[in-house]
Amino acid sequence: MHSRCLPSLLVLLFSCLPCLAKPQSTPPEIWAEYDPDAGEWKEEIVHESVKDGILNRETYVSAWVRGEEIRVYCKYSVKDGLRKAPGLLNVHGWMGAPGIDKSYVDEGWAVIAFDYCGETGKRVHFTKYPKVLDHGNMDKKFGGSVRSKTRDGQSITDPKQTSDYLWYAVQRRVLSYLLKQKEVDGSRIGAKGYSYGGTIMWNLGMDPRVKAVVAYFGIGWNEYYRSKSVWMYNQPFVEPPRAAGEKLYLATIAPQAHVPHMSAATLFLNGTNDHHGGHERGQESFKLFQTGVPWSFAQQARGHHNTEKIGQNTRIWLNRHVLKKETFWPSHPSSQIVLDSSGVPQMVVEASSPERVSKVEIFHAITSPSSFNRSWRDAKVVQSAKNRWTASLPVLNVKDYVFSFANLTYDNTVIRSTDFEAAIPSELGKARATDKRSSTLYSGDDGIGVWTDVAEVEGPGGIKGFRSTNKRRGSGTEQLADPKWQAPDGTDLGFDFYCTQPVTLTFVAGNHYEGTIEITASDDWQEMIVDRKSLLNRFSKKTLSGWDKVGRIKFLPKDGSDITKVIFSEFRWVKSKN
């Protein structure tokens, strides 16, 4: 060989090496080589019984991931003797444990739940990850998870280094195990996941064996986007550089990366103020679905990790797409923010099948770019045509963002949300600001929409207020995050209460400031003023420097006290005595 040819050959060789060593860059490329049916099952039954006609079984089975054996703990329930039952995966959330949704078992489903959390606390049964894959354990004491960075802080170089990859693989193996059960009809399989279980639903939705998935809260857009506060409506919008590991994670492992490749009918349920399932970015995901793949979403206004007002969608969705029942599901409604004839921002909603619409609710918020820190207001809805509803969206400043969405409830209880809409009124035309600052946060005549877990009641003298309906979680509001109701300088928070027995409450301001409130007994209304200096940061132990730093407040029961005995009313800012 002539020596002068060697440099050219070397150039050719090294130019090809990147192609040979190219990492998998899309979810389908990653999962094309994973066979969830491969490898010995090594099934171990740790409990089996039949009670009230229901077969219950707890087992360990082997999943083979990255050449290692993971012992997966599963629970399975089905009506004893049933055949050709539809199958359902019920997937727990972060640090959770497997639980069977008995309501589906009673309806004739074969339900399987599995643990992917791994070792934590004193649990007797849990999925056992080998030492080399101990990042499958969510609990840092036994491992700790890996996303875009390894545990020593280096960027990942392979999607298979992540904990999500392990959890996705385990979930697909459990699906194979469900299909092995003699009671199960493999042509009718659905899945639903809660919290991080919702996060891993998006990978499962790529599996052609699954007909429909329901994701509660988890929808992605957290790594990089949430962790670095890259909100869509930051002013100015700045997109910080992405580390190599972040680029790889976002392209291959993050839930939103799977959407263009999903084949399962997908339903997403979320609370607008839940930080696990970002509102506006989450809904961007639905622009990525392949044509012909059914999808829908519903947002619970002011919802955190709860969806009790929209949860009925799940069963209807699974019945429609797994059981193939002829159930009505409305088309996606259209929406936009415009200026009305006087320059006031207005939300306009149009729906197909308007004759089946039983209720339209329109919500709006202003300014805050962070999805889970917004204070959502109830707008007054007017039906302006057979298929059209409108609501005015008053603003304080026409150069700040106004946000809105609507929930349409249909006569079969399905709730479908519109797109998340955002606009700067001054950019729409000659806009007018008609809203004003207010020192009254809540009056009995205002309704109770902005408070969570409450019911409207009437106290002495016919004065309206509300009670907490949740003895464990208490009640709260993000109303203080709305510029309309932010605290003026030199004020403290005041409110009236009525209670005929002593109750001790924990008052939480923002995320970290807390104080104790003693509700005294009386046969009449009483006044309470919460001095900011009585609220301590639970980490630094420093007092709250000002109410303007607080966007949310919450009352929690303390020492076994019954918070539901207290009626609250007339929240307002009062001049501070200090």
- Reported as a single tens digit per residue, the pLDDT across 511-552 is 899 999 999 999 999 999 999 999 999 999 999 999 988 999
Three-state DSSP class for 59? strand
pLDDT recorded at residue 21? 42
d(CA 74, CA 116): 10
Paired tokens of 292: 């012909």
d(CA 417, CA 412): 15
pLDDT recorded at residue 526? 98
Q: Strands 567-575 and 440-442: what pairing?
A: antiparallel
Tell me which CATH code domain 27-321 carries. 3.40.50.1820
More confident residue, 392 or 276: 392
pLDDT recorded at residue 24? 61
Least confident range from 15-24, 52-61, 327-336, 375-384: namely: 15-24
> Over 90: is that where the pLDDT of 6 sits?
no
Least confident range from 18-22, 118-122, 164-168, 235-239: namely: 18-22
> Over 50: is that where the pLDDT of 468 sits?
yes
> Over 60: is that where the pLDDT of 18 sits?
no
Residues ≥6 apart with Cβ < 8 Å to 81: none
Going by pLDDT thresholds of 50, 70 and 90, the confidence category of residue 106 is very high
d(CA 212, CA 215): 10
Going by pLDDT thresholds of 50, 70 and 90, the confidence category of residue 25 is confident
Domain ranges of the chain: 27-321, 334-427, 440-575
- Reported as a single tens digit per residue, the pLDDT across 319-336 is 999 999 999 999 999 999
More confident residue, 540 or 445: 540
pLDDT recorded at residue 23? 55
- Contact call for residues 569 and 556 (beta carbons, < 8 A): no
Residues ≥6 apart with Cβ < 8 Å to 341: none
- Reported as a single tens digit per residue, the pLDDT across 218-230 is 999 999 999 999 9
Going by pLDDT thresholds of 50, 70 and 90, the confidence category of residue 22 is low
pLDDT recorded at residue 450? 87
Arithmetic mean of pLDDT over the chain:
93
Amino acid at 250: L
Q: Strands 382-385 and 377-379: what pairing?
A: unpaired
Question: Which residues pair with residue 455 across a beta bridge?
Answer: 467
Q: Strands 110-114 and 85-91: what pairing?
A: parallel
pLDDT recorded at residue 72? 98
- Write the DSSP symbol of residue 316: H
Buried b (16+ CB within 10 A) or exposed e, 490-509: ebbbbbbbbbeeebebbbbb
Tell me which CATH code domain 440-575 carries. 2.60.120.430
Residues ≥6 apart with Cβ < 8 Å to 30: 24, 159, 160, 165, 252
455: region left, alpha or beta (phi > 0 left; psi from -120 to 50 alpha)? beta
Going by pLDDT thresholds of 50, 70 and 90, the confidence category of residue 446 is confident
pLDDT recorded at residue 577? 82
Three-state DSSP class for 56? strand
Nearest 5°: CA angle at 375, between 270 and 372?
A: 45
d(CA 286, CA 58): 37
* Same CATH fold assignment for domains 27-321 and 440-575: no
Residues ≥6 apart with Cβ < 8 Å to 533: 543, 544, 578
> Over 90: is that where the pLDDT of 80 sits?
yes
Tell me which CATH code domain 334-427 carries. 2.60.40.10
Percent of residues, the chain, with pLDDT higher than 90: 90
pLDDT recorded at residue 16? 35
- Reported as a single tens digit per residue, the pLDDT across 137-186 is 999 999 999 999 999 999 999 999 999 999 999 999 999 999 999 999 99
